[in-house]
Chains A and B, each alone.
Chain A
């Protein structure tokens, strides 16, 4: 399978916002042992883009994000945001950030925690109450607003963390495992929220284990493993790109017509068939033929997304 291009047209045309330039981070213990968490990492993220970061546990995602926020100093290379060192940019402009571990003082009340962060974020006093109320409503934590942070469930704490990240109209949002601890309903709603946040002048970075989530939300996904950037994958389907070869078709009617259009279709039972095609054009042509023969197609699902396929290859798992 051919690699997809690492940059899309949009990427080439838009302004550079975040740049990792040959970044490396080595942790050294007092006993002299060293661990290379990130090595020779270079990547550019542009305005208007949603970039996903994926990688197995211990791949270096958290270290990378900590360096992007200026919480960790790279051992080598630089991380710049809008041409400034990351920490300098954030101290001047702020950034919307949801960390993987939601660390809010457990003694604070949920709503006053947001008021505190809003104050630090520079939101004027007059705007704080309605901004806080708006986010509390939007993220469904109204009934928990008076509770101490320590009394919140994991899902509600995650939503509170997301609320504080959205307090300001920041140009840059960094969301680390944003749906961690959320139930399926709220994971779905989260995707809607991110789609609402997409704006030509805003850059969003999402680090996640959930490839399906990244496939749906991100424009590109940087796959890292062993601290190195393995590849950058465009999540869109491109014309003529033989990205996905196997699909599962579900038919509601016309089961006996399937092999007329897909001669090699394999039945998976209950009206489901696995089909193999060489391109999206071939898939569409065969589907069109199948429908014209009177079959009723209920769903067409790729066996693996472009991203999943690329991820497996990048981290050394055979497909």
Chain B
């Protein structure tokens, strides 16, 4: 009896990603980028004379990193929970494939999809902002996918309300860290276990602009995401697929 051909199935997973999420990511990215960049472009006569020393550069980095965050949110939303909610798991996993391997592959397919979408968007931006590094931007995208995507994956295994939960965790962590991060006592210690979103601004600025960022910050972000991805896989292995 043949085992399932999960690797070959990656092409179908990528196609689903492109149709269901990739188009949405491109549209959101184009619109968001256009609305924020167009005024500066108009003032510059078609070309944005922007460089890292420009006062507008931080805004560009903020826009670019926000587009990455929203794209990852779109990419991991329902990555596991939709199959469970809609019952698609029933036929998929009656075939000889490992549930864990299936979703590990799907996670990486979505990562490739997000990076491909960011390649398109940054390619367009590069035509207007020659100093914008596509490679650095894609490195940042991969880092955020591991961090935010790992947390999102875990949430998608654990709950059906993953979009809302991930957005709440992401934004809530930022707010709580700003409120309590520097304070002594229990609240200050507790917020340390929240996602390290406070490190994102520095990492985004350094990585996208110069291609490097504080190693400890990068490792924190990668480790946090990887830990939650691993926890998601353990939960997927142990918990029931059906309700």
Please, which residues of chain B bring their CB within 8 A of the CB of A121? 2, 4, 95-96
Tell me the complex Cα distance, A104–B91, Å.
8
A92-B95 in contact (CB<8A): no
A103-B87 in contact (CB<8A): yes
B1, CB-defined interface residue at 8 Å: yes
A103-B96 in contact (CB<8A): no
In whole Å, how far is A129's beta carbon from the nearest beta carbon of chain B? 14
Most chain A C-beta atoms within 10 Å of own C-beta, residue among B5, B90, B99, B242: B90
Tell me the complex Cα distance, A161–B92, Å.
12
A92-B12 in contact (CB<8A): no
B97-A91 in contact (CB<8A): yes
Tell me the complex Cα distance, A143–B176, Å.
58
In whole Å, how far is A3's beta carbon from the nearest beta carbon of chain B? 33
B216, CB-defined interface residue at 8 Å: no
- Which residues of A, 116-142, contact B by the 8 Å Cβ criterion? 116-117, 119-125
**Closest chain A residue to B7 by CB distance?**
A119
A91-B5 in contact (CB<8A): no
B99-A91 in contact (CB<8A): yes
B88-A120 in contact (CB<8A): no
B5-A94 in contact (CB<8A): no
Tell me the complex Cα distance, A96–B96, Å.
10
B96-A93 in contact (CB<8A): yes
Please, which residues of chain A bring their CB within 8 A of the CB of B12? 116, 119
Main secondary structure of the interface of A (DSSP, over half): loop
**Closest chain A residue to B12 by CB distance?**
A116
A99-B5 in contact (CB<8A): no
A103-B94 in contact (CB<8A): no
- Which residues of B, 141-163, contact A by the 8 Å Cβ criterion? none
B91-A91 in contact (CB<8A): no
A107-B19 in contact (CB<8A): yes
Please, which residues of chain A bring their CB within 8 A of the CB of B98? 91
Most chain B C-beta atoms within 10 Å of own C-beta, residue among A96, A107, A117, A120: A120
With contact pairs A72-B242, A119-B12 given, residues A96 and B87 touching in the complex (Cβ less than 8 Å): no
A179, CB-defined interface residue at 8 Å: no
With contact pairs A71-B240, A73-B240, A116-B12 given, residues A96 and B94 touching in the complex (Cβ less than 8 Å): yes
A105, CB-defined interface residue at 8 Å: yes
Tell me the complex Cα distance, A186–B242, Å.
30
Main secondary structure of the interface of B (DSSP, over half): loop
- Contacting residue for B88 out of A66, A70, A103, CB 8 A: A103
With contact pairs A72-B242, A91-B99, A94-B96 given, residues A120 and B5 touching in the complex (Cβ less than 8 Å): yes
B6, CB-defined interface residue at 8 Å: yes
A20, CB-defined interface residue at 8 Å: no
Please, which residues of chain B bring their CB within 8 A of the CB of A94? 1, 4, 94-96
A283, CB-defined interface residue at 8 Å: no
**Closest chain A residue to B102 by CB distance?**
A120
With contact pairs A99-B91, A103-B87 given, residues A122 and B3 touching in the complex (Cβ less than 8 Å): yes
Please, which residues of chain A bring their CB within 8 A of the CB of B8? 119, 125
Tell me the complex Cα distance, A161–B16, Å.
20
B215, CB-defined interface residue at 8 Å: no
A307, CB-defined interface residue at 8 Å: no
A161-B95 in contact (CB<8A): no
A235, CB-defined interface residue at 8 Å: no
In whole Å, how far is B99's beta carbon from the nearest beta carbon of chain A? 7
B88-A104 in contact (CB<8A): yes
A123-B2 in contact (CB<8A): yes
A97, CB-defined interface residue at 8 Å: yes
In whole Å, how far is A32's beta carbon from the nearest beta carbon of chain B? 18
B93-A90 in contact (CB<8A): yes
In whole Å, how far is A99's beta carbon from the nearest beta carbon of chain B? 4
B54, CB-defined interface residue at 8 Å: no
B86, CB-defined interface residue at 8 Å: yes
Jot down 20 A-B pairs with beta carbons below 8 A, ordered by A: A66-B240, A69-B90, A70-B241, A71-B240, A73-B240, A90-B96, A91-B98, A101-B90, A103-B86, A103-B87, A105-B16, A117-B92, A119-B12, A120-B9, A120-B97, A123-B2, A168-B1, A168-B95, A169-B1, A174-B94
Known: A94-B4, A103-B91. 18 other contacts (CB 8 A): A91-B96, A91-B99, A92-B3, A94-B1, A94-B96, A95-B94, A97-B91, A101-B87, A103-B90, A119-B12, A122-B2, A122-B5, A125-B8, A165-B94, A168-B1, A168-B95, A169-B1, A170-B1
- Residues on A lying within 8 angstroms of B by beta carbon are 66, 69-73, 87, 90-97, 99, 101, 103-105, 107, 116-117, 119-125, 161, 164-165, 168-171, 174
